[in-house]
Amino acid sequence: MSAPRIVVGVSGGVDSSVAALRLVQQGEPVAGLFMQNWADDGSGECRAEEDRRDAVAVCGKLGIPFHFRDFSSEYWAGVFEHFLAEYAAGRTPNPDVLCNREVKFKHFLDAARELGAERIATGHYARIDQHGGQWRLLRGADRSKDQSYFLHQLGQEQLAATLFPIGELEKTDLRRIAREAGLPTHAKKDSTGICFIGERDFRQFLGHYLPAREGEIRDPQDRPIARHPGVFYFTLGQREGLNIGGVRGRPAAPWYVVGKDVANNILYVDQDHDSPWLQSARLLTEDAHWVAGSAPGRVFECTAQTRYRQPDEPCTVTVQDDGRLSVRFDRPQRAVTPGQSLVLYDGQSCLGGAVIASTDAPLERRLGNPFSSLETT
**Residue 39: pLDDT above 80?**
no
Do the Cβ atoms of 267 and 231 come closer than 8 Å?
yes
CATH of domain 6-180: 3.40.50.620
Overall average pLDDT of the 21-47 stretch: 83
Q: Mean pLDDT lowest for which of 98-107, 142-151, 201-210?
A: 201-210
**Residue 371: pLDDT above 60?**
no
CATH level 3 topology of 212-270: SH3 type barrels. (2.30.30)
**Which pLDDT score is estimated for 278?**
96
Per-residue model confidence as pLDDT tens digits over 276-293: 999 999 999 999 999 999
**Residue 47: pLDDT above 80?**
no
Distance CA 17, CA 186 (A): 8
Distance CA 139, CA 146 (A): 6
Q: Where in the chain is the domain with CATH 2.40.30.10?
A: 279-373
Over the chain, what is the mean pLDDT? Answer: 91
What H or E segment, with its residue span, contains residue 18? helix 14-25
Higher pLDDT, 349 or 4: 349
Closest alpha carbon to 106 in 56, 71, 66 = 71
**Residue 171: pLDDT above 60?**
yes
Q: Does domain 279-373 have CATH number 2.30.40.10?
A: no
Per-residue model confidence as pLDDT tens digits over 78-94: 999 999 999 988 899 99
**Which pLDDT score is estimated for 367?**
81
Per-residue model confidence as pLDDT tens digits over 97-117: 999 999 999 999 999 999 999
CB atoms within 10 A of CB 144: 9
**Which pLDDT score is estimated for 372?**
47
Question: Residue 212 is which amino acid?
Answer: A
End-to-end CA distance of the chain: 59
**Which of the 8 DSSP states describes residue 312?**
P
β-pairing verdict for 266-270 and 215-218: parallel
Q: Mean pLDDT lowest for which of 42-46, 244-248, 306-310?
A: 42-46
Closest alpha carbon to 134 in 151, 159, 152, 114 = 159
Overall average pLDDT of the 50-72 stretch: 95
Question: Residue 334 is which amino acid?
Answer: R
Question: What phi, psi does 139 have (nearest 5°)?
Answer: -60, 155
CA count, 13 A, side-chain hemisphere, 291: 26
**Which of the 8 DSSP states describes residue 38?**
S
**Which pLDDT score is estimated for 197?**
65
Distance CA 249, CA 243 (A): 17
Beta strands of the chain (E only): which ranges? 6-9, 30-36, 66-70, 119-121, 126-131, 134-139, 162-163, 215-218, 224-228, 256-261, 266-270, 279-287, 289-290, 299-305, 313-319, 324-334, 341-346, 349-359
Question: Residue 200 is which amino acid?
Answer: R
**Which pLDDT score is estimated for 61?**
97
Q: Where in the chain is the domain with CATH 2.30.30.280?
A: 212-270
Closest alpha carbon to 59 in 184, 169, 166, 178 = 184
Distance CA 256, CA 239 (A): 5
**Residue 377: pLDDT above 60?**
no
Q: What is the pTM of this model?
A: 0.93
Catalytic center residues: 99, 195
Residue 24's alpha-carbon distances to 6, 83, 205, in angstroms, are 10, 37, 40
**Residue 224: pLDDT above 80?**
yes
Distance CA 255, CA 273 (A): 8
Distance CA 163, CA 102 (A): 18
